[in-house]
Structure 1
Amino acid sequence: MKYVIIGGDAAGMSAAMQIVRNSDNHEIVTFEKGSIYSYGQCGLPYAIGGEVGSTDDLIARTPETFREKYGIDARTRHEVTRVDCEQKVVHGTNLDTDEPFQESYDRLLVATGASPVCPPWEGVELPGVYQLKTIPDAERIMEYMGKDINNVTIIGGGYIGLEMAESFVHLNKNVRIIERGSQLAKIFDEDMAAHIHEEAEKQHIQLNLGENVEGFEGTDKVEKVVTDKGSYDTDLVLVAVGVAPNTSFLRGTGLYLTIKDAIQVNAYMETNIKDIYAAGDCATQFHRIKKKDDYIPLGTHANKQGGIAGLNMAGRTKAFKGVVGSSIIKFCDLNLGRTGISESEAQQMDIPCHSVTIKATDRAGYYPGSEKMTLKLTYHKENMQVLGVQIVGGEGVDKRIDVLATALFHEMTTEDLLDLDLSYAPPFNGVWDPLQRAARKAK
């Protein structure tokens, strides 16, 4: 059986390793447009900020490791540009030689990930305007930072925008975030985002909310950001306004593309065309709370979906159980966690819901070093099923998010939360965990 995988990062190589481990007679060919395989994209802001010593530390396995240790034909700088689904052949270009190539397959996995979106603003090609997705992206930013850089402007207040704001603050830069919406971190409700705004102010990060970027100005490099409300001096710009699936090369194949042009897959990572699978940031994920497919491009999902795709490609049937929307972000002195759906999302979906908000600490209030958190629990107002939680605070946010994610997976109610046997000792928790305090308030 010959397997071809397009994409050499989380989903693609998770699949390749499952094929290696679960099939005896196989040939695996992987194509990666870049030159680096299997690296931690989520660690890039911390490499730029200096918390991670080198971008090399983010690489889990090299192409040579896949070739020599696992017998995978791992090719770099090979871009697939077309898939012939009838002949079962992929076509592309060797970017080093500019020569075309083609490769036949018995089973194909599309794991091409996603790329940052960049609107066609005037001046976007100026030196000093960057996006962040790959190790080369990070290294270009780090090299440019070696120049006389004092003022940094971030366009976008999502995951990357907030994490990079923290990194630039850590590097003692003057940071401005421009966000076209009315709040940072739109995955949070407005009342919870207010705490994020307070932290930005505390860190002397300038917020320009409700502002639309129109372009950039400069001669040999970027010098100003121009919006519909003014212009601002800057030495470096990071554009972080979201990502889009890398699926444009699949148009005309008959593969069904759905949300944001992500590839529609079933629980077995199968597409609508036989012997073609998809996984990771280029594919959909089933949301267990929304009860429908969604597009939430995160590394956790990519690794899981890739592994499941590999098992099914190798003939070992396994289903992807879906996601509940868990995420956590470190933003300076705050940890921002959420899972499930927010109150605003529930309202948009016409789900009858209530929410309760409490202030709590991560351990017994009298124990030294306890840190505060604000917790918002959203639940169905008729059957009391838990729908989601948002937590902003210091230590202990991650623990509560993971407990609630487990509860969401099993469709628990607020009453069920009260019945949980959670660990307690003053250095770790109060007698009643904050989640249970919120559930009691809901009751």
Structure 2
Amino acid sequence: MADRVLVIGADAAGMSAASQALRTAKAAGRDLDVIAVDRGHWTSYSACGIPYWIGGDVASPGALVARTPEEHRANGIDVRLLTEAVAIDTEAGWVEVVDHAAGRRERFGYDQLVVATGAAPARPDVPGADAAGVYGVQTLDDGGAVIAHLGGEVRCAVVVGAGYIGLEMAEALVRRGLSVTVVDRGPEPMNTLDPDLGTQVHAAMERMGIDVVTSAAVTAFETAPGGGVAAVVTDVGTFPADIVVLGTGVRPATDLARAAGLPLGPSGGLRTDDTQRVADGVWAAGDCVETWDRVRRDWVHVPLGTHANKQGRVLGTNLGGGAARFPGVVGTALTKVCDLELARTGLTEGDAVEAGLDHVAVTIESTTRSGYLPGAEPITVKMVAERPTGRLLGAQIVGRDDSAKRIDVCAMALWTELTVGELAMTDLAYAPPFSSVWDPVQIAARKAADRL
């Protein structure tokens, strides 16, 4: 008799796990009966692409879907959409769901449970936060709701939070012709960078016509007589808004897991081992879990699609009878605002200070190609190294075209625990159209090694 696998969540982690489990089990001559439930309308989509759909770079939500429900069903996964899991009993081995389309409740028994419930936008705990017209942007359904709202009489927008989603949504809304204000409690936008690099982000946003308000805490959302949002109130002023987008980060969507008594870490994310197992018969992956940070040597919540897909694959391999391990993360991410590219990996200088690490930090200015060639663009690299070992702790990059992906060199140096002296001497490719003879990453590493 086939083991029943029940997957809660039909996006990156859940469907990667389901698909890989079926493949692995089939190769081993085992049978699995896989059911996936999700309260939304979509499967296997790129949430990272939602701002580009809203901004007009992507024509339709379908373009962001990697695999449709029909394709998953053809591969042997029983996908149930508009079906919300509302309770888990791990001792009895069942999940209670609400089928919103049919209007009924039922219980699914399982032999193996996969929790891939993702993350939910963090809403400020202030009056009016649940008003109509205040949107988080986490799912395709969220993106569709924003686009529908923009079809009305909308002239001004406020984005609360200047992280990755906040920056991307601010640019998307400007491109749709709205007057946009970004409000953030930090001293500069993009608090995953140190403030001295955030100033460049601030300037780039203002060049786009975005009004950037920093060191401002939201205290309330004012509403119009009809109940829709009308303004964002902060401790430095009030800003009119026909629509508000939350870029205040996300939290692990683990209320269901918490109620079931499953183990959670300090961030609220599920705690797994490196096979993605939570407990006997229970597995988890994606934005709902905590992940081991190889640089901090601690557990963190880092909600990214890259991790979700890898963790899902590891989970599915193990669930299907194979053997795989998820080795952790180093905190690599990148984005852009207008023509300015931003990237980081590992620890910022602020992170190193907070962690109490003895360190040095250096910042260099260079160009993306040899400076004598047309098209050479400015690039800033900041690097943090441990004292006295010289171990690279982190790097940040802000620059124009062809800057951000250089962060991958730094990520690999972190992964392999290189010192900055070793990184400075690595054999990186060089030709004038692509780099100066010393790549900017190596210039920063060399300067850090000299400082040590």
User: Structure 1 length as normaliser, TM-score?
Assistant: 0.97
- Judge conservation of contact 1:374–1:392 (CA < 8 Å) in 2: yes
Shift of 1:333: 1.7
Sequence identity (%): 39
Distance 1:163 1:9 in 2: 21
Taking a change above 3 Å as real, the CA distance of residues 440 and 134 of structure 1, as seen in their structure-2 partners, is same
> How big is the shift at 1:107?
1.2
User: Which range is displaced more, 299-308 or 234-243?
Assistant: 234-243
- Pairing 1:21–2:26 present: no
Q: Deviations over 1:388-441 (max 9, x none)?
A: 100111122233101110111000011211221111111111111011111111
CA distance in structure 2 between the aligned counterparts of 1:123 and 1:252, rounded to whole angstroms: 27
Amino acid in the other structure paired with 1:143 = A
In structure 2, the residue matched to 1:219 is 225
In the alignment, the residues of structure 2 paired with residue 250 and residue 441 of structure 1 have an alpha-carbon distance, to the nearest angstrom, of: 47
> Of 147, 150, 169, which aligns to 1:145?
150
Q: 2:331 aligns with which of 325, 328, 331?
A: 325
What CA deviation, in whole Å up to 9, does each residue of 1:63-100 have, x standing for no partner?
A: 111112x1111111111111111121111211122311
Q: Secondary structure, in 3 states, of the residue corresponding to 1:260?
A: coil
Do structure 1's residue 268 and structure 2's residue 270 form an aligned pair? no
Pairing of 1:176-255 with structure 2 (within 5 A): 176-213=181-218, 214-220=220-226, 221-255=228-262
Unaligned runs of 5+ in 2: none
Q: Given the alignment of the two structures, is residue 4 of structure 1 paired with residue 29 of structure 2, yes or no?
A: no
List per-residue Cα deviations over 1:180-208 (Å, max 9, x = no partner). Answer: 22221111111111111111222221122
Amino acid at match of 1:430: S
Amino acid at match of 2:110: Y
**Amino acid of the residue matched to residue 29 of structure 1?**
I
Q: Which residue of 2 aligns with 1:416?
A: 422
**What amino acid does structure 1 have at the position aligned with 2:167?**
L
2:229 counterpart SS class: coil
Aligned residues: 441
Tell me, yes or no, if the aligned pair for 2:339 and 2:401 is still in contact at 8 Å: no
Question: Which among 156, 161, 164 is matched to residue 161 of structure 2?
Answer: 156
Please give the alpha-carbon distance, in whole angstroms, between the structure 2 residues aligned to 1:123 and 1:283.
30
* Aligned counterparts of 1:306 and 1:90: Cα–Cα separation in 2: 20
1:76 aligns with 2:81: yes
Distance apart, 1:249 and its partner CA: 1.3
Structure 2 CA distance, aligned partners of 1:234 and 1:106?
A: 49
- String of CA shifts for 1:331-387, please: whole Å, max 9, x gaps: 112111000111110111111110110001111111111111111011012010111
Q: CA deviation at 1:121?
A: 3.3
Question: Secondary structure of the equivalent of 1:259?
Answer: coil
Shift of 1:149: 2.1
SS at match of 2:374: coil
Measured in 2, the distance between the counterparts of 1:119 and 1:399 equals 33
Render the CA deviation track for 1:161-219: whole Å, top value 9, x for unaligned: 00011111222321101112222111111111111111122222112212222222312
Aligned AA (2:256):
F
- Segment drifting more, 2-11 vs 232-241: 232-241
- CA deviations over 1:134-183 (Å, ceiling 9, x no partner): 11211221122122322111111111100011111222321101112222
Q: 1:223 aligns to what SS in structure 2? A: strand
Q: Which moved more, 1:117-126 or 1:243-252?
A: 117-126
**In structure 2, which of residues 113, 128, 132 is the aligned counterpart of residue 127 of structure 1?**
132
Q: 1:140 to 1:427 in 2, by over 3 A?
A: same
Q: Gaps (5+ residues) in structure 1?
A: none
The structure 1 segments of at least 4 consecutive aligned residues displaced by more than 4 Å after TM superposition are none
Q: Which residue of 1 aligns with 2:366?
A: 360
Mapped to 2, the partners of 1:342 and 1:226 lie a distance apart of 31
1:379–1:387 contact (8 Å) kept in structure 2: yes
* Deviation of the 1:252 alpha carbon: 4.1
The aligned residue for residue 36 of structure 1 is 42
RMSD: 1.3
Q: Distance in 2 between matches of 1:269 and 1:359?
A: 41
Measure, in 2, the Cα distance between the counterparts of 1:199 and 1:409: 31
Partner Cα separation in structure 1 for residue 173 and residue 34 of structure 2: 41
**Aligned-partner Cα distance in 1 for 2:410–2:432:** 21
Q: Is the 1:217–1:225 contact (alpha carbons within 8 Å) kept by the matching residues of 2?
A: no
CA offset at residue 133 of structure 1? 1.2
TM-score by length of 2: 0.95
